[in-house]
């Protein structure tokens, strides 16, 4: 027999997932904070910050659920980076943040606390795998059976009790290493990317240097003097999601 608490959690979970789809997310899942926090801390070697991952309770003491949201990117315009003074901005992130804030406000209207990620040291890729989106691929991205690696992730912590999804356990990569072979700078080994080699980790000055300028023009071309398309060569080599690439969203 289902308890009132379980029934309430199920109804709220269904509402949140329906709203997420209505608001523009193609993927949406729930993760238990305990399952996410059980993953040993690991080093994040991003260009903008280098640190070890933290726990969900470092950001919300009474967290009950982690919401992970995925928005499909079907066009190169979603891969652009914009130089603003001394830092970079990702216009695609504005879209995901806007969509996610709608879920945030829904939970707050229901009387729950909820916070949207803001430079969290929590792995959205691990959240996505735990929520059933796909497997951690050899390109170090989450690969979904339908969309491949072509989606962006946003996450929310809340003290609302929601029903966790089952993790994705299938290996979609198998023996394939096309992404590793495709990387123009040899930054990939299976399941790991070297952030100091990856074109995405280069500074603007490095990109304009003789060493990288030609590669940049091919794999990460400028659209304007301050805007360029991020390298997606490893993603383009993946066999998953190719048939949808270039097709606009239908909702």
pLDDT tens for each residue of 20-52: 999 999 999 999 999 999 999 988 776 666 788
**pTM strictly above 0.75:** yes
What's the DSSP call for residue 148? B
pLDDT in tens, 105-147: 999 999 999 999 877 899 999 999 999 999 999 999 999 999 9
Q: What is the CA radius of gyration of the chain?
A: 19
The answer to whether 28 touches 69, Cβ cutoff 8 Å, is yes
Nearest Cα to Cα of residue 140 among 41, 234, 31, 43: 234
Structure tokens at 15: 């509402």
pLDDT in tens, 224-238: 988 889 999 999 999
The Cα–Cα gap between 32 and 125 comes to: 14
The Cα–Cα gap between 199 and 211 comes to: 12
Task: Indicate the pairing of strand 227-229 with strand 222-224.
Answer: antiparallel
The answer to whether 74 touches 150, Cβ cutoff 8 Å, is yes
Structure tokens at 247: 């097709």
């Amino acid at each position: 027999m289902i308890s009132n608490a379980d029934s309430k959690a199920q109804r709220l979970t269904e509402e949140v997932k329906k709203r997420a789809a209505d608001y523009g997310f193609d993927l949406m899942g729930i993760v238990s904070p305990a399952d996410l926090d059980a993953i040993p801390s690991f080093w994040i070697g991003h260009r903008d910050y280098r640190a070890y991952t933290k726990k969900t309770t470092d950001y919300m003491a009474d967290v009950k659920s982690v919401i992970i949201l995925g928005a499909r990117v079907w066009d190169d315009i979603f891969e652009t980076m914009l130089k603003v003074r001394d830092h970079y901005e990702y216009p695609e992130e504005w879209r995901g943040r806007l969509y996610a804030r709608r879920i945030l406000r829904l939970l707050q209207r229901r009387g729950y606390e909820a916070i949207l990620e803001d430079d969290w040291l929590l792995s959205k890729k691990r959240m996505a795998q735990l929520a059933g989106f796909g497997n951690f691929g050899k390109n170090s991205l989450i690969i979904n059976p339908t969309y491949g690696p072509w989606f962006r992730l946003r996450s929310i912590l809340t003290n609302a009790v929601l029903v966790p999804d089952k993790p994705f356990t299938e290996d979609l990569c198998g023996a394939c290493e096309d992404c590793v072979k495709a990387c123009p700078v040899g930054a990939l080994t299976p399941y790991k990317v070297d952030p100091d080699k990856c074109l995405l980790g280069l500074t603007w000055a490095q990109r304009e240097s003789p060493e990288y300028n030609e590669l940049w023009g091919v794999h990460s071309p400028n659209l304007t003097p301050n805007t360029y398309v991020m390298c997606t060569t490893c993603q383009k080599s993946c066999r998953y999601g190719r048939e949808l690439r270039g097709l606009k969203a239908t909702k």
